[in-house]
Amino acid sequence: MPIDIAASFSFGLSEPTDVLLQFEAARIPEQRILSSECRLSTAEKLVRVPAQDGIGERVWLRAEGVYEVEYRARVSVGRMLPDLAGLDWLQPHALPGETVQYLFDSRYCPATRFHPFVTAEFADLEGGALIAAMRDWVAGNFSYEPGSSNSNTTALDSFVERRGICRDYTHVMVTLARAASIPARYVSVYAPGVEPPDFHAVAEVFLADHTIVGGGAWHLVDATGMADPEHMVKIGVGRDAADVSFMTVFGMAEFREKDVRVTLSP
């Protein structure tokens, strides 16, 4: 069942300014872009560069005045969705080199500090079963409160305050996973059912599927429970929210509006 995406946003730039955007469904094997249309205002410069881990693209603009982005796409998702709890831990030395950075602390995910908590709270669990327990712990102990966090809020803040939005739930999941030596990254997605409708964020962990030879792979985890990995359309990945904002301004911008709609195509 394809997923229909309609996203638009606009902003005003009072002088020529560089802006970085990342808002399109990534062209990767697990999701097929059936159709897509992207309308952008005229820019002095427009450059596309591959985004992190080669997943999706970043769009650099240099523009001035009112700038509008309108994006529509129909995407068919076909990823493998093994039962999380049945996945195996990979000892760090067995990890592919490119996943190693996802073991380290990042801007919003100071994982090292959570080692004692993780060891005590989730003793005797490992791999996918551990990740599932972490997801359930976050889901059970946090409340989803729009407006309760800001761009300085780290997983440490959220862990103490026990609340946040998808960004914060994901930061806590990523942090707990890394504290257990499991590579974890932040994934920006389109997903139906998110309330209020918006860009969504989930975690992704690197675990092994023993039914597959050399089976290490990334697996999606949504601690908010709002979205189903079967219907998530990936936009980009990063160490945490610092890496995958849909819009980063290198100067001043006046944000004007944003509208994101994601539906299961009938």
The binding site for a copy of itself (CB under 8 A) comprises 18, 20, 45-47, 49-52, 58, 60-62, 91-97, 100-101, 103-107, 109-110, 112-114, 116-117, 120, 141, 143, 150-152, 156-157, 159-163, 181, 238-239, 242-243, 250
DSSP structural state of residue 8: E
Assess contact for 250 and 197: CB atoms under 8 A: no
Q: Is the CB of 19 or the CB of 87 nearer to a copy of itself?
A: 19
| Beta-bridge partners for 3 | 75, 264
Q: Is the CB of 6 or the CB of 40 nearer to a copy of itself?
A: 40
Q: Is the CB of 4 or the CB of 157 nearer to a copy of itself?
A: 157
Assess contact for 9 and 24: CB atoms under 8 A: no
Q: How far is the CB of 230 from a copy of itself (least distance, A)?
A: 30
Q: How far is the CB of 58 from a copy of itself (least distance, A)?
A: 6
Q: What's the CA gap between 60 and 20, in Å, rounded? A: 5
Q: How far is the CB of 177 from a copy of itself (least distance, A)?
A: 13
Q: Is the CB of 104 or the CB of 256 nearer to a copy of itself?
A: 104
DSSP result, 57-120: EEEEEEEEEEEEEEEEEEEEE------GGG-BPPPGGGS-GGGGGGGS-BTTB-GGGGHHHHHH
